[in-house]
Amino acid sequence: MYSISEAAELLDVSPHTLRYYEKEGIIVPDRQSNGIRSYHEDHVLWLKFVIKLRETQMPISDIKQYTKLFQAGDRTAVERLAILENHQKNIQQQLETLHATNEMLETKIDNYKTYILKEKHQHH
């Protein structure tokens, strides 16, 4: 079991982020008799997944919808699959954009290096 600060540190997020996910119904930590939140390994695994979805720009509304469907059980598998497939398409588009941008940057960087090298040789 982890405290909120231990779970946050483990996940490299702030306790505020974990409280926000709780408020949005994305995670329901256990509560000790004194009201203190505690997170177990299943919570941490779920949050790792959620954090990856957020890092890849999945909207909170989609994550909330996926969470509700997950909590509803196996009968929602088709809807959950559709959400994940849609997100995977978005990630593939992001990858294409990143790749194209990286190629443009490589060209620009090479141009600058060539220019700077040429300038150095002209001034010697």
Dump pLDDT digits (tens) for 52-106.
999 999 999 999 999 999 999 999 999 999 999 999 999 999 999 999 999 999 9
Per-residue pLDDT band for 122 (boundaries 50, 70, 90) equals confident
Dump pLDDT digits (tens) for 6-15.
999 999 999 9
Tell me the fold of 4-97: Multidrug-efflux Transporter Regulator; Chain: A; Domain 2 (1.10.1660)
The more confident residue out of 20 and 122 is: 20
Give the angle subtended at the CA of 63 by the CAs of 11 and 99, to the nearest 5°: 75
For residue 124, is pLDDT > 70? no
Whether 19 and 61 have beta carbons less than 8 Å apart is answered as no
pLDDT given for residue 123 in this prediction: 72
Alpha helices in 56-76 (DSSP H): 60-72
